[in-house]
Amino acid sequence: FQDVPKGSNKKAKVTLAGSATNVEKAKTVINNIIMYNHDELTHPGEVHEELDIEPWAYRYLIGSKGSEMKHIQANWKVRVNIPRENSTNDKVLIVGEAEPVSKAKAYVDKLIWNAENNAKGRDKADTATADPWGDEEPVEEWMRGYMYKR
């Protein structure tokens, strides 16, 4: 192998030797590991879920200082992989055993739904313009002396 810098788009040539069936099997395993970060042969019992999440929502999945990512990976014993510029798979992957993967996927779906539907900060609906004293009452004659005309 040549030294290829991490994050490089350079391709490295890999030569596989052996019988034709074993070479094809090895190619399949290598391609699955590159694409999905696991294969049944190398990681028995593991499955993956692909999530189509928009890049703007990655920050909600990662959380502050990676806290959300750590929470998901520690609670459900799964691996979460977010695609980078040079990734072969452009979807978010959750890899692990079947039941924890489905639970982690449900949590991530809820997390992204909340990010899309519960606006905070500048995007939040403006509630400051509402009158805290309630609706205006009709103007009575005694009030006219206290009112300011513009």
Q: What is the pLDDT of residues 47-56, one digit of tens each?
A: 999 999 999 9
Tens digit of each residue's pLDDT (9 = 90 or more) over 2-17 = 566 666 667 778 899 9
Q: What is the DSSP letter of 46?
A: E
CA distance 142 to 140: 6
> Can you read off the two tokens belonging to residue 123?
């995007």
Cα–Cα dist 58/130, whole Å: 34
Q: Tokens 């809820």 map to which residue?
A: 110
pLDDT, one tens digit per residue, over 61-79 is 999 999 999 999 999 999 9
The half-sphere exposure of 115 on its side-chain side, counting CA atoms within 13 A, is 18
In this structure, the chain runs to a length of: 150
Q: From the centroid of its chain, how far is CA 17?
A: 39
pLDDT score for 96: 95
What residues form DSSP beta bridges with 16?
none
- Which amino acid, 52? D
* Percent of the chain residues past pLDDT 90, beyond the cut: 59
Q: Residue 96 belongs to what H/E stretch?
A: strand 92-97
Average pLDDT of every residue of the chain:
86
Q: How far apart are CA 98 and CA 107, in angstroms?
A: 14
Residues linked to residue 81 through DSSP beta bridges, in sequence order: 93
